[in-house]
Amino acid sequence: MARTARTSARASTRPTRAVGDAAAEAGRGAGARQHRTGRGRRPRREVHPGVFRRRRVTALVVAVLVLAGLSIGGRALVYDAGLFDVEGVSVTGTVTLSPEEVIATAAVPHGAPLAEIDTARIAARVATLPAVATAAVERSWPHTVAIEIVERVPVGVVSNGGEDALVDATGAVYAGVPAPDLPRFAFAGVGPDDPATLAAVAALAALPAEVRSQVRAVEAARGAGSPQITFELTEGRRVRWGSPDRAAAKAAVLVPLLTQPGRVFDVASPDLPTVMR
């Protein structure tokens, strides 16, 4: 009987001991987690605003010094080292002029730093050539000055001081050798500011190509109103064009009118064209 009591007592103590062991284990786990958590976090260090300002100022000073060094080095390469000096001149757009004429007039300083070339001044010198309508100059790195010109296109010839000169589509008169088929402007005062010249140029431009090729001379009669234009064609024929207005209508009437026999073809009034024999 006594043995049974002792067995029961030992059995009753086992749950209590198990609960205590579990509580102790739980405590150790919580302590370990707390220890790990505390060990992983580091305290945040505060930086004084003055430190940030000093850092920004330092970075700015360094950047300025780097840019200054690059600028000095770049200038030395471009201006002083001779790596980008002028070694040649290219010319495009010539028709009647030779590239040598353009280069001689341009007077580009050979061996000068390309960056120092005054392109506007060179273009102005090239534009003084009578046959040049426009001139553009640019730097073509690393060693070339590129000149592009547009030559005047002659539409007629005029006597200028006892010598023949060319007339372009703007009425400008310039020196040159005329082609044999260019019509002669047979009136005085030819120039870009002369109303009669501008009327004659406009009338020539309005003519169909097959008629324009037959024009041998252009006359312009000045009066109170618009200049009156007359064309002298091949085979002794004449065309009374009249004023510059209604040019398209006059050109359209003139083509079939010239197929008729006659000496004078009057399209001054395109609604009532006439032919005189």
Residue 38 lies in a domain: no
Residue 28 lies in a domain: no
Q: Can you give the CATH number for the domain in which 102 is found?
A: 3.10.20.310
- Residues (pLDDT < 50) of the chain are 1-16, 18-20, 22-24, 26, 30-32, 34-38
CB burial readout 232-251, b (16+ within 10 A) else e = bbeeeebbbbbebebbeebb
Q: Which residues pair with 148 in a beta bridge?
A: 92, 136
pLDDT at 83: 84
Residues ≥6 apart with Cβ < 8 Å to 252: 270
> Which pLDDT tens digit goes with each residue over 52-80?
576 676 767 666 665 655 555 555 555 55
List C-alpha distances in Å: 261 to 45, 57, 208. Answer: 110, 95, 19
Residue 29 lies in a domain: no
State how far the Cα of 232 lies from the Cα of 222, in Å rounded to an integer.
17
Residue 269 lies in a domain: yes
pLDDT at 12: 45
Q: Which of 133, 151, 169 delimits the end of a domain?
A: 151
Tally of domains within the chain = 2
Residue 74 lies in a domain: no
User: What is the pTM assigned to this prediction?
Assistant: 0.68
- Does 232 lie in the same domain as 185? yes
Residue 15 lies in a domain: no
Q: Please, what's the largest Cα pairwise distance for the chain?
A: 169
- Does 195 lie in the same domain as 246? yes
Is omega for the bond preceding 142 within 30 degrees of 0, making it cis? yes
The identity of residue 173, as a single letter, is V
Q: 84: closest CA among 37, 145, 134?
A: 145
Q: Which domain holds residue 193?
A: 154-276
- Does 180 lie in the same domain as 141? no
- Does 124 lie in the same domain as 184? no
- Does 142 lie in the same domain as 178? no
Structure tokens given for 100:
């040598």
pLDDT at 126: 98
Residue 48 lies in a domain: no
pLDDT at 224: 82
- Does 257 lie in the same domain as 176? yes
- For residue 188, the number of C-alpha atoms closer than 13 Å in the C-beta half-sphere is 2
Residues ≥6 apart with Cβ < 8 Å to 230: 218, 219, 220, 221, 238, 239, 240, 241
Q: Which of 151, 179, 198 delimits the end of a domain?
A: 151
Q: Which of 151, 166, 194 delimits the end of a domain?
A: 151
- Does 191 lie in the same domain as 214? yes
Residue 246 lies in a domain: yes
pLDDT at 21: 52
- Does 141 lie in the same domain as 175? no
Strands 274-276, 264-266: pairing kind: antiparallel
- Does 141 lie in the same domain as 167? no
pLDDT at 45: 60
